[in-house]
Structure 1
Amino acid sequence: MSIVGGIVIFVVTWLLVLFMVLPWGVRTQEESDEGVEPGTVESAPVNPRIWMKFAITTGITVCLFVIIWTIIELELIDLRAFFQNT
């Protein structure tokens, strides 16, 4: 796998994992005891903790990337042969 290919796979995987992690632990203003801030909608999150979600996303993505890289480098699944036969 080339450096550019690895970066592309990492970024795409990171974005997919981010969209899966974003809803974890979200409490809306409507659900909180503090009430709704004036000028915002009730469904806005109270404390999104985005940096923690970025860290969790990066950790999960690193684990997945190591698995993907191992499969490609050790040719456990021969993707070139698979796509040439179709």
Structure 2
Amino acid sequence: MQWTSILAIYLLMWIACAFLMLPFGIRTHEEVGEEKIPGQADSAPANFRPGRVVVRATVLAAAVTALYVVNYDQGWIEAEDINIFGDPPSLRED
């Protein structure tokens, strides 16, 4: 596998992991006990830390990408292994 393909896969995994990590560790103003600003949404986070999300997404994306690349090289799980519908019916009439 070329390094550019690995980089593209890593970036896709990073974006997915970043969205996955967003809700973890977030508390609303009500949960923290702080006073809300007038007009603020009830679900607005009080302690959002984007740096923490970036670090978590980076580590998780690196691990998932490494597993993907090793699986690609070793062939542990292939497309035939996850085919839950079986072989497609033949289109030819014999």
TM-score interval (norm. to shorter): 0.7 to 0.9
2:69 aligned partner: 69
Structure 2: stretches of 5+ with no match in the other structure = 80-86, 89-94
Letter of the 1:21 partner, please give it: M
State the TM-score, normalizing by the size of structure 2.
0.72
Deviates more, 1:43-52 or 1:29-38: 29-38
Aligned-pair identity in percent equals: 26
State the TM-score, normalizing by the size of structure 1.
0.77
Correspondences of 1:43-54 after superposition (within 5 Å): 43-54=43-54
Equivalent-residue separation in structure 1 for 2:64 and 2:54 (angstroms):
15
Larger radius of gyration: 2
2:35 aligned partner: 35
Structure 1: stretches of 5+ with no match in the other structure = 80-84
CA RMSD of aligned residues (A): 2.2
SS at match of 2:57: helix
- With over 3 angstroms needed to count, the CA separation of the structure-2 counterparts of 1:78 and 1:33, relative to structure 1, is closer
Q: Per-residue CA shift, 1:36-73, capped at 9, x if unaligned?
A: 12342121100111111110111111111111111112
Letter of the 1:41 partner, please give it: A
SS at match of 1:40: coil
Equivalent-residue separation in structure 1 for 2:2 and 2:74 (angstroms):
14
Count of residue pairs the alignment pairs up? 82
1:60 aligned partner: 60
How far the C-alpha of 1:77 sits from its partner, in A, is 4.2
How far the C-alpha of 1:7 sits from its partner, in A, is 1.5
SS at match of 1:42: coil
Equivalent-residue separation in structure 2 for 1:78 and 1:36 (angstroms):
51
Equivalent-residue separation in structure 2 for 1:23 and 1:54 (angstroms):
13
